[in-house]
Structure 1
């Protein structure tokens, strides 16, 4: 008879209880799972004590209970786009192998390891899942942060289409959350950005897309002032069939006539008859673009509109919401944008974003624009100073808030900016209920933010 080794440490015992593998520092698979997409959030000297490569919700629950028993916190990661630096004593749950995906008519069930690219490939037109501008990100992380995507003004916030979650809460229990089952948890998971537990699967509705005209127009950076002011005036009168954003970006070498130079990108998506969308775009009076174009687009290619980078890189971010975008705000942004390595983006909100079909933790629906400044570093770290300067220049027009999926942070003050005071207070109450021992790492800033408020 074979004698099994007796566990000698908590991690040995955890490894024996898991279906999936446990990776410790120095193991071949550790770095591949622990290092996030945003390399600026990675510190090799302060990485997680181990990585649980979870196969299912049972593995996740096992990891949470182990952490609770031994004074650890649990963080979760799939793609690592919204990663924050790990705290000492963190056990990381990686959900990349939880890839179950079922598309049944207009309803989707996706495991925590599913990316939007998987949903796009599996969904037949004219149905569509409300992905964000970067379909390489995970479905779960995007939806728990609300989800303000390239069709948001037409269809609203993506989390409004979520019908149910399966989640492991901080007490180690597997729960289902829906409108009629754990409704308070369901409320908070839509917008709470992981503070209430580790989501292992999500169910959501698809929308019907009657047609799509979309693309990106690129202009020379020397024309930034003219393009941004034209975009500001034009976007103010857009109907809800249109969603648009504008960005100042330094293009990589080899990107046509703007390669290695600063360009201005006008992104545009129109839901409905392409001819009508073309008419609305032509009203803007933009100059002839240097690159790009707008035309009928299969929805599976919606990621090409923003063309967000896929490969991991170190980035620093800052973001704010605006009440309005007067000409003076555009001038202030242009004056502050300065360093050419900083990407500055303005997304128009409003339309269906402003309407909540039912209550959730998604706040700031009355904001008119979201502004993001993203610093892309050339080395292993990224300095947020330039990004913060851009956002500070817009303070006279800012609401003071931000969206959970933009400029993700573990700073309690930044977490508080994502919510209004009643929502933050209710999230804190739910955290205390479902995570009484402080096991979920993403809940710690919520607790701290409420304490700072008192």
Structure 2
């Protein structure tokens, strides 16, 4: 045990716990939770720190980064992963067997926490949420007990932990299903956004109505800073890009993306056939720690005029740099898994994500801009995404529909009446 907090990917919010436990295994976690409960101290969890929802002051911080074992069963197509494992580690272990996990865009994100929040994979429309592919979990609950949770054992906890976040305990290990995906067709195509962002967004939205459920895509808009380390075509430019992931043939992939290429001259075009090990290059998320704030809006649908207004608010004239990402949902995401879980809003058509670097920008200004965007989208908004709230830990509304939240709140009352893992039901005080 130590009082020195571990460094994480998110650098924008302070971490000042009373005590840090560097857990090497489930027994360390169990002991730390029991000790915190006896002292009346709140418990926070930290793996890689990507999804840290805000500052951490006081309490016990359990770091799971040393719990990084990965065991692949190629016959059952499953992986047993420790609480500190990153998606990159799971991909590396699964690829030799021609298998892949339902990971997100960044290989350095903690796999367990990502999945507890639902998890939107790069192959989401074909296979659904990462939480839909969980077979079992090991979790330490507020009473200090280590429980094996599966469909036939602790079914209520099994429902809640898959999409309900960290609020019911500390997951020490998880067994997940893998899919056969040795290669895919994917990448991104980018366009200069100045004066054309609205057209690109409108054409993209039209295109999403024509693609099969086996194709997953997103649109991103970003005003790049004028920095010498950036490629010249991007330096200081406003760029709108479309990212694609498709497990069909390269020839069919080329046919499907032809309407995107017809939008106009591309600044960059990396669409190609690739191994699954290279799938992180589709989004090329920043690999280095930095300070940021992020939030999201889950939408039942979106038209081109509304998308254009969002890009106008968040584009080059915005008061701060804001990365906009619009994920096309539907497909397998709309289907309930064989064993139901707490992932909400399956009827949604799109997920709008906003993220702003905090270097030189205060949180209040970012929140003001995001509130303006949210107000614009309110008529079609269903809620917010639990997995994409970075820095707004004091705002827990909208993460689940009313029925799901009521059931989750009842389970919290039963399993954590003293609020060891947080206050009212919502995002936990720990993160990825």
TM above 0.5, yes or no, is: yes
> What whole-Å deviation, never above 9, does each CA across 1:203-249 have from its counterpart, x for those lacking one?
01101127410001111121212211110111122111111101111
Q: Is the 8 A contact 2:295 2:392 kept in 1?
A: no
Of 140, 158, 178, which residue of structure 2 is paired with 1:206?
178
| Residue 410 of structure 1: how far off its partner (Å) | 6.0
2:79 corresponding residue in structure 1? 108
Q: Is the 8 A contact 2:54 2:393 kept in 1?
A: no
Q: Is the 8 A contact 1:117 1:136 kept in 2?
A: yes
DSSP 3-state at the match of 1:332: helix
Distance 1:280 1:385 in 2: 39
Q: Is the 8 A contact 1:317 1:384 kept in 2?
A: no
Of 371, 378, 383, which residue of structure 2 is paired with 1:388?
371
1:41-440 map, 5 Å: 41-42=13-14, 47-86=16-55, 88-105=57-74, 106-123=77-94, 124=96, 126-209=98-181, 211-222=183-194, 223-252=196-225, 253=227, 254-284=230-260, 285-337=262-314, 338-339=317-318, 341-357=321-337, 358-379=339-360, 382=363, 383-399=366-382, 401-408=383-390, 411=393, 414-440=395-421
**Which of the pair is proportionally richer in helix?**
1
| Residue 260 of structure 1: how far off its partner (Å) | 2.7
Distance 2:141 2:361 in 1: 34
The gaps in structure 1 that reach 5 residues or longer are 1-21, 25-29, 450-454
CA RMSD of aligned residues (A): 1.9
278-287 vs 194-203, which deviates more?
278-287
Distance 2:324 2:37 in 1: 41
Distance 2:404 2:268 in 1: 43
Q: Is the 8 A contact 1:318 1:407 kept in 2?
A: yes
Distance 1:315 1:295 in 2: 31
Q: Is the 8 A contact 1:321 1:402 kept in 2?
A: yes
| Residue 307 of structure 1: how far off its partner (Å) | 1.1
Q: Is the 8 A contact 2:14 2:56 kept in 1?
A: no
Structure having greater relative contact order (Cα 8 Å, sep ≥ 6):
2
1:18 corresponding residue in structure 2? none
Distance 1:275 1:447 in 2: 44
Q: Count the aligned residue pairs.
A: 414
> What whole-Å deviation, never above 9, does each CA across 1:1-27 have from its counterpart, x for those lacking one?
xxxxxxxxxxxxxxxxxxxxx111xxx
Distance 2:223 2:322 in 1: 8
1:14 corresponding residue in structure 2? none
Change over 3 Å in CA distance of 1:249–1:380 after alignment to 2: closer
Change over 3 Å in CA distance of 1:226–1:328 after alignment to 2: closer
Distance 1:406 1:166 in 2: 24
Distance 2:144 2:138 in 1: 13
303-312 vs 140-149, which deviates more?
303-312
Distance 1:125 1:295 in 2: 22
Change over 3 Å in CA distance of 1:288–1:107 after alignment to 2: same
The ranges of structure 1 where at least 4 consecutive aligned residues each deviate by more than 6 angstroms after the TM superposition are none
135-144 vs 331-340, which deviates more?
331-340
The gaps in structure 2 that reach 5 residues or longer are none
